[in-house]
A = this chain, B = another copy of it.
């Protein structure tokens, strides 16, 4: 398990996707603008996310990416694993020159810690993160009650109806 900025970018992008893909697919350009991640870097990340079946793509005008399944079935660990292609574990696992049992054990202990964290992140879904976000948003609104509540509505024109969704 590796925790780097790469994984954070991926999780952030997936959160953005989960937030905005209720109606139409979300283009990487949109995510790039909203989350301030370079478009080309997003392309790299989503190429891997797609290969791991975490997102599905829709081509052509109005296309973009969607979560491949519900946010409740996509877990943070899956996202991080998808973009960290080289999970060589310990370098010791593969090599046969582990001269002493002791070396193996210390490596094993590190693996164990890593696995525990992996298990932790495997239990947190995108939906759970979003729920937490809602809680935090409400808390923030209550904090800044006196000021303008600045809710940001997303207005979409769908056919002949006007869709106003509060985010």
Binding site for B on A (CB under 8 A): 1-5, 8, 11-12, 15-16, 19, 34-36, 76, 90-91, 99-103, 105-110, 112-114, 116-117, 119-121, 123-124, 128-129, 132-133, 136-137, 140, 150, 152, 154-155, 157, 160, 162, 167
State the copy count for this chain: 2
Q: Closest CB of chain B to A56's CB: distance in Å? A: 21
Which of the residues B34, B102, B121, B132 comes within 8 Å of A112, measured between beta carbons? B132
Which of the residues B1, B102, B117 comes within 8 Å of A120, measured between beta carbons? B117
Chain B residues with Cβ below 8 Å from A120 are: 116-117, 120, 157, 162
Q: Are B108 and A136 in contact, CB atoms less than 8 angstroms apart?
A: yes
Chain B residues with Cβ below 8 Å from A128 are: 160
Chain B residues with Cβ below 8 Å from A12 are: 106-107, 110
Q: Which 10 A-B pairs have the closest CB atoms?
A: A3-B3, A12-B106, A123-B157, A15-B106, A8-B110, A116-B155, A109-B129, A105-B133, A117-B117, A2-B3
Q: Closest CB of chain B to A141's CB: distance in Å? A: 10
Give A14 to B162 CA distance when docked, in angstroms.
24
Q: Are B123 and A109 in contact, CB atoms less than 8 angstroms apart?
A: no
Q: Which residue of B lies closest to A130 (CB)?
A: B109
Give A156 to B152 CA distance when docked, in angstroms.
39
Chain B residues with Cβ below 8 Å from A162 are: 116, 120
